[in-house]
Structure 1
Amino acid sequence: MAKLSRRARRLLGVPAGFGAALAVAPLLLTGALDQVEVATLDARLALRGERPLDPRVVVIALDDEAFRALGWPVLRSVWAHAVDVAAKHGAKAAAFDVMFFEDRDEGEDALFAAKAKACDCVVFPSQWRQEGAKVLVDHPIEVLRTASASRAHVQLDNSLDGVFRAAPMSLTVEGERYPALAAALAQVAGERVPVVDGTAWIAWRGNAPRGASLMDLIAADAALASGQAPDLDLDALFKGSIVLFGQTAKSVGDRGAVPYSSDAPLVLAHANLLDNLLNDRLTSPPGRGVALALALVLALLVGLCATAFRAALGTGLAAGVLACAWAGATLAFAETELWLPLAAPTLAAALAYGAGSVLNVAVRDADERRLRQAFERYVAPHILDKVLQSSESVDIRGHKRQLTLLFSDIKGYTTLSNTLQPDQIVELLCGYLDAMVEIILSHDGTVDKIMGDGIMAFFGDPLPQKDHALRCIKAALDMQRAVGRMGEKWVERGLSPLQVRIGIATGEVFVGSIGSRQHQEYTAIGRPVNLAARLEGKAPPGGVLISKETFELVKDEVVTREVRGLDLKGYSGGYDAWLVLGLAGADLPPLQPEQRGAARLPFFSDVVLEVHGVDLAARSHDVSPGGMFIVCDGVPPPGTPVRLRARLARSGEAPVSVQMDAVITHVRHGKVGGSGAGAMFTTVYADDAASIRALLDGVIGGDAFEDARVQPADGARGKLSYALDTGPLAPVEDE
C-alpha cells in the first residue's frame, strides 16, 4: 500500500462515509428500514416520556367495573342517559367508539336517537372491514345514522409493525366522504381542523386522558338528582369538553398495541389523534430524500472520526456524534413533533465507522511496518512506540528540522587496531559501542550510523524534542563517564587508557530516508552535520566540544569554557567553540592529576569576585592555568558563574587589569582563615591570557611582583611549564 500523508489518512473517512450512504440507499428507498424507523420513534417517545393530552379531550369509559354492573351489550338507554348528562354539563360534542350495527329494543333505540338529535353534536361512526378482496362498510342503525351530527369512520392503521399509530384522515364510499372520527368530532365541536391528505401519523402524547368511568358518571348524576354532593364534578369534567365514549374493559375487546403499551383500548388512539388535531401537532415520517441526506452527513462525520483520530478518541467522538443526533431528534420530536430520520443515518454511521476503522487499520499497519523498518535500528524501543502512537505523521521521505548532532570517536584507534588481533579488536569495539549506543538511546537520541569506532547520532527526530541540545550534551557527558570506567578495565588488560573525543553542533538539517533503491538509511544531511564532525576532530581527548548554536541553547544549564580561534575547514578567521565542563549545579570533572599538580602554585593577591553583578573583596590563595582558589566571606555555592578581576604588576612595570569568567567548582569552609572556593576558568580573553601567562612565567622565573607575594613550590617550574602547554590557556591542537 502506498504511503499516505497524515492529512490523506484523516480524509479516508470521506470515501468511507460515501460508501456507507450508498450501501444504505437501497434499503431506504425500498422501505426495508421503515419498521426500524418507527422503532426509533418509539425509542424517542420512551426517552421523552408521556405528556398530558389536551384537557378538552375527555374519555368516558365502559371499564371492567361498568361491564360487570351493566352487562353486555349495555342498554342504549344508558348510553342515551350518558349523552344527556354530558350535554347538560357543557360538553361541546361527543362521539362513540362503540359500534351500533344491530337494532335492539325499538324504544331504547328511539330514545338514544332522540337524545343525540336533541344535542345535535353526537357522532356515530361507520366501520370498514375487508372480506377477501372486497371492502365492506358497516353503518350504524338507521335511526342513529340519521341522528349523527356527521359521518365518520373509526379505522386505524397498524399495517407497518402491528402498532396502531396512524389513521386515514378520510375514506370514501359510494361517493360519500367519511372523515376520521377525531376529525369529525373536532369539526362538530366547532374547532378548526388542519387539512391532511392521506394517512395521519399520530404524535402520541400518552395513555391517560382526562375522563371517568361510565359508572362514576351515572352515580354522580344520581347524587345530584337526590340533592347529594357527587364524588365526580360533572361541570368541571364536561364544560367545554369534547367527549369520546369508548370501551376499555378487557373482556369487550377493541384493544391493540399502541405506543407506551402492547395492550391498550383503541379509544386512546382516537383521543391522541383528537389532541393532535386540536393543537395542530400531527407528525409525519421523514421523506426518503431527507433521510438519505442526513445519512450521508452523519456517515461522513462518523467516518472522519474513525480515520482522523486515534482509536479511543475517534470512538468517543463517533459515539458523541451519534448521541448528539439522537438527542437532537428526540428533542425535536418532544418540542415540535418533528420526526427526523434516525434508522438510515444510524446504520450509515455504523457502516462508515466500520469501513473507516478498517481503512485506518490497514493504512496504520502499513505505516507501522514502514516506520518499524525505518527506525527500529536507530531509536530506543520506547521512542519507536511513541512514534507509532504519535498523532503527528512521521515523513520518512525527508523533512527539514532543527536537530543537535553528535560525533564521537576513540583517540588512537588506528594505532590500537594495528597492535591487536582482529578478534580482540571486535571484542573491545563491540563492548564499547554497546555501552555508547545504550547511553544515546537512554537519552532518546537516534543512532544514525556507526563507522568503525565512530558514532553519529542526533536528537530531536523522529519525535520533536524542545530540549534536544541539552539531551545531547547529557548523553555526551554520560558517554565520557562510561568511557572512564571502561578505560580502567582496558588498562588492567595492558592496553592504553580509553579516551574519546566528542563534537556537537546544532542547526537545521534535512533528515529522512536517503540512499539508492537497493539500500537506504534514515540520516541527516546539512552544514551542522559537517560542523559536528569537525568539532569532534578538534575536541581534546575526554572532552566534549560544542558549537556556538548549541551553546546558545544550553548556556544557562551547562558550564563551559570558551575555546577561540579553532582552525576548522570552511571557517575562515577561526571558529569559536565551547568546551563542556559539566552541568550547572552539578559536580564538575576534576583536572587531570598532572594538570592539577602543575597548577597549584601559591599566589596571594587582592581579587574582586563579581557574583550576579555584586562585587566581593577576595584574596587569591593559589593560581594555575586552569583556575584559581580564592578566599572571601560569603562565597557562592558550586556551579555559580562568576567573574574574577585583578591588577597584576611585575617589578618596574605598570599594573595590568585582567578578568576571567569562571565557575565555582567547590567550597571549603575554614580554609586559610576564611571560606574558600575553587574557581575554574571558563573564558579567558586573549589579552588577559597573555598577562596571566606573563604572570606565571614570572613565577617560574622567580620575578618579584609589587602587589603580590609569591611562594613557589618545589618542582613547580617543570609542572607549570607542562600546564601552560596543556591547560585551558593553551589552544586545542589536532591529535
Structure 2
Amino acid sequence: MRRIGRRDMVAAILIALLAGGVFTSPPLETLQGLSLDILTALRGKIIGDRRDPATSPVVVVAIDGETYDTPPFKGSPTQTWTREIGRVLGSIAEGGAKVIGFDVIFPSSIEQSEIPFGEAPLGARMKGFDRDYLIALRRLSDSGKLVLGEILSNDHPDRPDRAQQLAVKNNIRALNVHTDSDDVIRRMPLSFSIAGQPAPAMAVELAARALGAKPEIGPTGMTNLSGYAVPSAVPNTLTLNFRGLGRDVPAYSFADLRACVEKGDRDFFRRAFEGKVVLLGTILNFEDRKLTSMRLSGGYDGSPGSRCALPAPASTAKTRSDVAGVFVHATVVRNLIEQDAVTELGSPMRTILTFAFAAIIACAACMLAPFGAVIAWLALTAVYTAAAVGVFVHALALPLTEPALASLAALAMMTGYRFVLADRDERFLRKSFALYLAPEVIETMVASGKMPALGGEMRNVTMFFSDLSGFSSIAETMTPGELVTLMNEYLSAMTDIIEGHSGYVDKYIGDSIVAMFGAPADDPAHARNAVRAALKCHGKLAELNAGHPAFAGHGLSHRIGLNSGEAVVGNIGSRRRFNYTVMSDTVNVASRLEGANKYYGIAIMASEATVAQTGDTFAWRELDAIRVMGRGEAIRVFEPLAEMGAETATQAKVAAAYAEGLTCWRAREFAKAADAFGKTAETDPASALFEKRARALAASPPPSDWTPVNILEGK
C-alpha cells in the first residue's frame, strides 16, 4: 500500500471537490432523478412489496380496452357515455366511497354538436341527453364527494364542458404533473396559484377530503396535511413513492361496473368502494401513458379488481416502462393518506455526501494500485447501494448515481494524477534499479516514500566485501566454460542471499562482490542484515562445495569484510554515464577487513562499528585491534560466530579460551597468553597466530611504549 503524502492529500481533496461539484451541478440534476429510478427498481427487485391491494385507500375505475370493446360502448363516441358514467358514479357513491376524482375530461357535450342532422343540428335533436349525468354530478358535488379535473395552461387549457362546471359549482382541481428535464414524472405539484390564491392539486384535494382535513402551507412553503409535513426536495412538490410498482392499487373495469349496475348488485359496490378514494381514468395502451420512477423496474397498470358481472379477460398484466396517468395521481393520494412520500436529501447534503464518497475513493486510488482502487470502488459502491436500498424501504432516498459517478471520476482523475505526477519518481526508481536490485528491496523503497537523491546523499550503511581465496590458481586449472559456470553459480547464490536480506549489490569485480545494506532503501537493521547475510553466504559456500558438481574438487573458500558508518550513496559518475554506488572511508575499511581475514585464518571479519549496531543479536569473538593500511586509527575487529544462543559448544569453548588469551596479551602477560591461546591452537588458526606471537614476545619482551595493535602492511 502506497503512503499518502501532503501533496497527494491536497490533490485527493481537490479532485473530490471537483468531481463532487460537477456531478451535483444543475446541468446534471437529472442524475438525482436517475437515483430515484434505480432505487425504485432495486427495492422492487430485491425487497418487493407484499401489501394486499384490497387494503389500498385508493382505487381506480378504468375506462379500458375492455370498455371500448363491450356493448353499449363499443363503436360509440365517448360523449355518449356520460349517462352511463353518471349511473356508475351514483352506485359507487352509494357504496360508501369517500370521494371521486376525474382523471378524464369531457370538454364538450353531444348536446353542443352542430353537425347537421335532418332539419336541425345534431345537438339540438339531443337536448337533454346529459341531463341525468349533470344531475348525478350536482348530487355528488353537493355531498362533497366529487372533484372534476382540468389541465391548466396559458395557451391551451383543458376544462370540462361549461354545463359540467356549473353542475359541480366549479368544484374542479388541476391534473397538471411535474415533469423533469428528461420527461419523467418523479414528483407531483401540491398546489397551483389560481387568481393569486393557492389551490390544491387534484390528488391533494382527494386526500384532504378523505382525511377530513384541509392542506395548509406553512411559512417555509411546506405543505401540511392532517399533521403530515409533506417532504419537498423541489418546492411545492411531493416525491412519488411507487412502493408497490402500481400493483398495490386495484383497478376495476368500467364495463364490468356498468354491467354490475344493470345487475343491481349493490353489495358489490359496497365491498369494493366503501371508505375508498376513487379515481376515474383511462387505462389504454396508447393514451395518457407516463414515464415515472418505475421506468427501469417496469410498472403495472394496477392490480385487477374483483369482478361483478362480466367474465375476466384472458390477458394477464405485464410490466411496462410507462403507466397509465391515473396511477400517478392514485400514488400521490396513497402517499398522502399513508404519509409515505419519499424524502429526498437537500442539495447541500447531497453535495456533501457526494464529495465524501469521492474523497474516499480518491484516497483509495492514491494508496492502492489501479486494480485495487477499482475493487475498492466496486466494494464501496455495492455497500453504499445496499445501504441506500435499505433506507429507501423507509422512504428516504439517498443520492446514488451522483456519489457513484463522482467517485468513479475521482478514481480516474487520481489515477491520471499518479501516472503523470505522483508516481513519476516511483517509475524512475523502478526503471533505474530493476536490473540490479531485488524486487522486494525496490518495494521497500517505494513503500518508504524516500527516493535516493541524485548526485549523492549521506546515509548510514553497512558495507559488505567478499573475495574468493586463491581463486587465480584455481582458475588456471579450469576451461573458460567451466570457469564461467562456476562463477555464475557462486555469484548467483551469494547475490540471492544478499538481496534476500535487503542488501544491494553494487558491483562484481571478478570473483569479488561489493554490496551495501541500508541503501538505496532505508533499513534500520542494515548491520544485522549484513551479518546474517555473511553467515548465510559462508554456509551456502560450504553446501556448494559439498553438493554442486561445478564446485567438486575445488574446495573454494572466501573472505568477507563488514564495516558500518556514514557513506555517500547516489548516482555518481560522468554527465553521460553514471552508476548508483557508494563512496567513503567506511567502504575502504570494509575492503581492508576482507583482506585481513587471511592473517587470522577466518572467513568473516567485522568492525566494532558493525558490532555496536547489531546489539545482542549475535555471538561474537573479538579478534584483535588492528591498524589497516592507509588509516592511522586502530580499530577493534570481531568474528561473528552465530545468532546469539545458537553457537556450538566448540565455538563457545574456542571463544572463551581466545578471550582469556587476548586479555593476557593486552596486559603484557605473554606467557599466560601463549598458554591460553595454545589450548585451541591446533583447531583455530587465529589462536595459533596469537600463540606464536605471544611466545615470541615472552622470549623478547617489547619496549614500555608497546601497544597491543596489529599493523597490517598489506591489503
Q: TM-score range by the shorter chain?
A: 0.5 to 0.7
- TM-score normalised by the chain length of structure 1: 0.66
Going from structure 1 to structure 2, the CA distance change for 1:405 and 1:220 (only over 3 Å counts) comes to farther
The 5 A counterparts of 1:83-162 are 83-103=89-109, 105-117=129-141, 119-128=143-152, 134-143=155-164, 145-147=166-168, 150-158=171-179, 160-162=181-183
Instruction: Using the TM superposition, give the Cα deviation of residue 48 of structure 1 relative to its aligned residue in structure 2, in angstroms.
Output: 1.7
Residues 1:255 and 2:286 are matched in the alignment: no
Distance 2:349 2:615 in 1: 65
Going from structure 1 to structure 2, the CA distance change for 1:575 and 1:499 (only over 3 Å counts) comes to same
Instruction: Using the TM superposition, give the Cα deviation of residue 396 of structure 1 relative to its aligned residue in structure 2, in angstroms.
Output: 0.8
- Decide which structure has the larger Cα Rg and report it: 1
Whether contact under 8 Å (2:441, 2:521) holds in the other structure is no
Instruction: Using the TM superposition, give the Cα deviation of residue 457 of structure 1 relative to its aligned residue in structure 2, in angstroms.
Output: 0.8
The structure 2 residue matched to 1:47, chosen from 39, 42, 48, is 42
Count of matched residue pairs: 603
- TM-score normalised by the chain length of structure 2: 0.67
Instruction: Using the TM superposition, give the Cα deviation of residue 268 of structure 1 relative to its aligned residue in structure 2, in angstroms.
Output: 0.3
- The SS at the match of 1:247 is strand
Distance 1:338 1:92 in 2: 32
Going from structure 1 to structure 2, the CA distance change for 1:683 and 1:63 (only over 3 Å counts) comes to farther
Going from structure 1 to structure 2, the CA distance change for 1:171 and 1:555 (only over 3 Å counts) comes to closer
- 1:38 corresponds in structure 2 to 33
Residues 1:544 and 2:604 are matched in the alignment: yes
Between Structure 1 and Structure 2, the one with more helix by share is 2
Distance 2:174 2:564 in 1: 90
Between Structure 1 and Structure 2, the one with more strand by share is 1
- 1:13 corresponds in structure 2 to 12
Instruction: Using the TM superposition, give the Cα deviation of residue 56 of structure 1 relative to its aligned residue in structure 2, in angstroms.
Output: 1.8
- 2:311 corresponds in structure 1 to none
Distance 1:578 1:210 in 2: 91
Going from structure 1 to structure 2, the CA distance change for 1:518 and 1:682 (only over 3 Å counts) comes to farther
Whether contact under 8 Å (2:541, 2:556) holds in the other structure is no
Instruction: Using the TM superposition, give the Cα deviation of residue 181 of structure 1 relative to its aligned residue in structure 2, in angstroms.
Output: 1.0
Going from structure 1 to structure 2, the CA distance change for 1:364 and 1:481 (only over 3 Å counts) comes to farther
- 1:277 corresponds in structure 2 to 336
Where does the alignment leave 5 or more consecutive residues of structure 1 unmatched?
585-611, 613-638, 644-659, 664-678, 700-715
- The SS at the match of 2:156 is strand
The 5 A counterparts of 1:288-327 are 295-324=354-383, 326-327=385-386
Distance 2:675 2:361 in 1: 79
Distance 1:462 1:697 in 2: 45
The structure 2 residue matched to 1:79, chosen from 76, 85, 95, is 85
Distance 1:546 1:136 in 2: 101
Whether contact under 8 Å (2:606, 2:637) holds in the other structure is no
Q: What one-letter code is carried by the residue in structure 2 that aligns with 1:87?
A: A
Q: What one-letter code is carried by the residue in structure 1 that aligns with 2:172?
A: R
Q: What one-letter code is carried by the residue in structure 1 that aligns with 2:337?
A: L
Going from structure 1 to structure 2, the CA distance change for 1:698 and 1:85 (only over 3 Å counts) comes to closer
Q: What one-letter code is carried by the residue in structure 2 that aligns with 1:268?
A: F
- 2:428 corresponds in structure 1 to 370
- TM-superposition CA deviations, 1:475-511 (whole Å, max 9, x none): 54168559979xx999999xxx976432124567675
Q: What one-letter code is carried by the residue in structure 2 that aligns with 1:99?
A: I
The structure 2 residue matched to 1:340, chosen from 383, 387, 399, is 399
- 1:191 corresponds in structure 2 to 213
Residues 1:577 and 2:638 are matched in the alignment: yes
Distance 1:80 1:720 in 2: 124
Residues 1:207 and 2:246 are matched in the alignment: yes
Distance 2:137 2:465 in 1: 112
Identity %: 22
Distance 2:423 2:283 in 1: 64
- TM-superposition CA deviations, 1:667-687 (whole Å, max 9, x none): xxxxxxxxxxxx997865547
Distance 2:620 2:545 in 1: 20
Where does the alignment leave 5 or more consecutive residues of structure 2 unmatched?
111-128, 218-222, 224-234, 300-320, 666-670, 695-709
Distance 2:12 2:463 in 1: 39
Q: Compare relative contact order (CA 8 Å, sep 6+) and give the higher one, 1 or 2.
A: 2
- TM-superposition CA deviations, 1:644-667 (whole Å, max 9, x none): xxxxxxxxxxxxxxxx9338xxxx
Distance 2:617 2:684 in 1: 33
Distance 1:579 1:124 in 2: 102
- The SS at the match of 1:135 is coil
Whether contact under 8 Å (2:418, 2:424) holds in the other structure is no
Q: What one-letter code is carried by the residue in structure 1 that aligns with 2:283?
A: T
Whether contact under 8 Å (1:57, 1:209) holds in the other structure is no
Q: Say which is worse superposed, 141-150 or 430-439, in terms of deviation.
A: 430-439
Q: What one-letter code is carried by the residue in structure 2 that aligns with 1:248?
A: I
The structure 2 residue matched to 1:393, chosen from 432, 437, 449, is 449
Residues 1:58 and 2:79 are matched in the alignment: no
Q: What one-letter code is carried by the residue in structure 2 that aligns with 1:165?
A: R
Distance 2:417 2:89 in 1: 70
Whether contact under 8 Å (2:30, 2:180) holds in the other structure is no
Whether contact under 8 Å (1:96, 1:246) holds in the other structure is yes
